[in-house]
Amino acid sequence: MFIITYSFLFLLFSFCPSLIVGRRYYVPGIAQSRLDNNDDQEWTGRWFPDKPSDVRGQNILMPSKDDDDGASDFQYLEESPRQSMMTSMINPSCDTGKDNLTVDWPNTPANYTCSAFLRKYFLPNPDLPALIHKSFIPTAYKARHVCMNEKIEYSSELPTFGPHRAAWPRYGEYKFVPPQRWLHSLEHGAVVLLYHPCAHPFLVQQAKQIVKSCLFRHVISPYNRLPHDRPMALLTWGWSLLLPDIDEELMVKFIKDHALNGPEEISRDGQYDFELIEPAKFVTIPDDKGGICPKYVKLVNK
């Protein structure tokens, strides 16, 4: 048995030595030429993720070498695709923020005037608590920007999210702004102060000063759909605070907790400025990232 096995191995080694010692045999003109050839033109399929020669030609964004502080200076796009689409809708065929404005507001004084039948301003009730409400907004929700050829109606008297006009308001205080406009401000992270036209002027003035001293991104407007017992409201994207009286500490805390949390990070003024009374002023820096309500730091941190 041993002699037969040995004889078989001897014959196998003699005729096929590469199977035993692993010698490599190349067919001239085929395998070796493939190994030495750097030309990839023979491949007609698709490369993933890129063809090697194309990768070398790409303009890859790298940190600037001139940064002394070591921070990365990447060349980011100014607008996301969604923001770019929104901006493209601001045109005469959709919405300029200047034309056909009566679709949302027929410019009637009733929206900013205390009705004669009420006769007097609402007095605050110190025993009535403020109300904070959070709206449920699905994570994937994207508010629709609507052109002026279509009306927008809301199921809530005090919406904090929803479809709105493409052109958003300049920040500041207005004689009146319809919700179809200030909802877009909320989407950009702004705070909207609303007050009933019959709210006491002294309380309204206090509320205005608090908001104006907290951040640049604010819109202030009367709104006659607020309840009489809570005639003032602070709104942010998805949140509302209804106030029966001025509560400075609560108002500042609400603004610090919920401002600048809109799904679109845009701090610049919009195109709509109809009945603008007083443009907003910078409090820290234009995007408000220098701090919110800096005047009230001790009040909130006490």
Tens-place pLDDT, residues 95-110? 999 999 999 999 999 9
Mean pLDDT calculated for residue range 184-198: 98
**23-27, 101-105, 165-169, 204-208: which has the minimum mean pLDDT?**
23-27
- What is the predicted pLDDT for the residue at 126? 86
> What is the number of other CB atoms lying within 10 angstroms of the CB of residue 203?
20
- What is the predicted pLDDT for the residue at 273? 98
Token pair recorded at residue 227:
């309840």
Long-range residue pairs from 229-232, CB within 8 A, at least 24 positions apart, any chain: 229/122, 229/125, 229/128, 230/128, 230/130, 230/131, 231/122, 231/195, 231/196, 231/198, 231/199, 232/193, 232/194, 232/195, 232/196, 232/199, 232/203, 232/204, 232/207
CA distance 216 to 282: 5
**What is the DSSP secondary structure assignment for residue 291, as one 8-state letter?**
-
Identify the band that residue 45 occupies on the pLDDT scale cut at 50, 70 and 90.
low
Residues 6+ apart with CB under 8 A from 248: 206, 210, 296, 299
List, for residues 203-219, the tens digit of each pLDDT value: 999 999 999 999 999 99
The distance in angstroms from the start CA to the end CA of the chain is 98
Q: What does the DSSP assignment read for 35-83?
A: HH----TT--S--SS--HHHHHHS------TT-SS--------SS-HHH
Stronger pLDDT, 29 or 92, i.e. the higher one: 92
